[in-house]
């Protein structure tokens, strides 16, 4: 496991401390881990929503995947 040192503004440190106080996580490191997981999940959701919008906009490929790859890789 890697250790990362990150300078934080007092406001962010207060937010982390409040998460610990409220029982969201037992320590600062766990708060940050959970925040990173949450951020990654949010990004995945945004990617899915953007892909759905592209399909609605007609920006998608359909047909035989091998044939599509051949056309793209020309």
pLDDT of residue 41: 96
DSSP 61: -
Give the sign of the dihedral formed by CA 35, CA 39, CA 45, CA 46: positive
Domain positions in the chain are: 10-72
pTM: 0.71
CA dihedral 28, 25, 14, 35 (to 10 degrees): 80
pLDDT: which is higher, 52 or 14: 14
Question: Quick one: tokens of 6?
Answer: 């990150």
Q: Which residue has the tokens 């951020």?
A: 39
pLDDT: which is higher, 63 or 18: 18
Separation CA 27–CA 44 (nearest Å):
26
Query: pLDDT digits over 43-72, tens only?
Result: 999 999 999 998 889 887 677 778 877 877
């Amino acid at each position: 496991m890697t250790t990362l040192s990150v300078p934080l503004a007092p406001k962010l440190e207060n937010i982390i401390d409040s998460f610990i106080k409220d029982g969201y996580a037992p320590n600062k490191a766990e708060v940050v881990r959970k925040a990173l997981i949450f951020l990654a999940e949010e990004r995945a959701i945004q990617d899915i929503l953007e892909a759905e919008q592209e399909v609605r906009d007609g920006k998608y490929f359909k047909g035989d995947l091998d044939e599509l790859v051949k056309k793209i890789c020309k």
